[in-house]
Copies of this chain bind each other. A is one copy, B any other.
Amino acid sequence: MEHVLNIQEQQVDPIEWHDPKNDPFKVNGFAWFDKEKEYRRMPKHSVMELPICVDELANCTSGGQIRFKTDSTKLLLKTRLSGVADIGHMAATGQSGFDIYIGEPGKQHYLATAIPPIHEKTYEAMLWDFTSTSSELREVTINLPLYQGIEELLIGIEPDAIIEAPTSYISNKRALFYGTSITQGGSASRPGMSYTNILSRRFQLEFINLGFSGSGKGEREVALTIRDIENPACLVIDYEANVTPDEYEKTLVSFIEIYREQHPLVPIMVMSRIPHALDILPEQNLETMRRRNHSKKVVDQFKQNGDSHIVFVDGSKLLGMRWHEGTVDGVHPNDYGFMKMANGLEAPLWSMLKSVGVV
């Protein structure tokens, strides 16, 4: 890989550049990271042939988090991404930016955003400069871009600063979310505002985002790949928005069955999709209801057949009374919509995880 980012570069204030793929940094949110050391959401070398769009979108780093502790007065990052921001209904900060939270898992507070320059895929950003205040050991979570790949990422820390491993999660089990562009985080204003990233701050667990924009189609190869993810805490299935009612009825049962073969007791949540603006049209509403009814019916069937670890969550209720305000384009949540989704999903997710002793 061509290194356009010069690790030795000297600044006015000396900064040491670290590759966060190495200890004591932790990279979370990528199920195959420990084996492959890639910022990638599906395996790079899969025996399974993945749908081409899923394979490509797996390089988008949605849900990826870099975690560590440091007392550095300044914190910087520089990165080379796989492309420039080019989505009209999403801020560049959401597509190609990074944001940073401080605090332990479960207590993180948002601090700052690395704003990508327009038209540039290589950039450097100051995440904090606490020169004027007291230095203290801070725990850092950096959320990675939602709709872009990372070719290289370096974290800049003062040479004499402490760098330590972050606080461990309360379990090595990971919450998995499979779905669509909405799951992937379109159109959050910054990475931390996707619904899976918001939820990740309310649990002390690793969250893994498997949302594939326009490509959440419940394919057999995807189900077989996802069931290979070790130590699942739960699986949330949220792909209604990418399939016709026919496609949904053809895929959902077998998607769950494939997963269940390997994981009979892992809690599964099937959620119907959030309301879209054009659901006010009778024809579209019929399709929406057909998919929602199918989600519910399938969950009921599994329950009747003795599966006590599967629940249905009605996504049509998640955006609340002002549901129509919750998207940027009639489909993709804005940050108001994502916060409503996270608020509505928190309790059912907690119940699921509690039922198997993960929280």
| Residue A328 CB within 8 A of the other chain | yes
Determine if A113 and B281 form an interchain contact, defined as CB atoms under 8 angstroms apart: no
Measured CB to CB, the closest approach of chain B to A9, in angstroms, equals 23
Q: What does the 1/0 interface line of A72-98 toward B look like (CB < 8 Å)?
A: 000000000000011111111110010
| Residue A26 CB within 8 A of the other chain | no
Q: What does the 1/0 interface line of A195-237 toward B look like (CB < 8 Å)?
A: 0001000000000000000000000000000000000000000
For A132, what are the chain B residues with a Cβ–Cβ distance below 8 Å? Answer: 281, 283
| Residue A59 CB within 8 A of the other chain | no
For A198, what are the chain B residues with a Cβ–Cβ distance below 8 Å? Answer: 325
| Residue A18 CB within 8 A of the other chain | no
| Residue A110 CB within 8 A of the other chain | yes
Determine if B189 and A133 form an interchain contact, defined as CB atoms under 8 angstroms apart: no
Measured CB to CB, the closest approach of chain B to A174, in angstroms, equals 23
Measured CB to CB, the closest approach of chain B to A326, in angstroms, equals 8
- Taken together as a complex, chains A and B put the C-alpha atoms of A198 and B334 apart, in Å, by 14
Determine if A329 and B281 form an interchain contact, defined as CB atoms under 8 angstroms apart: no
Q: Could you name 17 residue pairs across A and B whose Cβ atoms are closer than 8 Å?
A: A85-B88, A89-B93, A91-B187, A91-B189, A110-B277, A110-B324, A111-B280, A111-B324, A112-B278, A115-B329, A132-B281, A132-B283, A189-B189, A193-B325, A322-B339, A335-B337, A336-B336
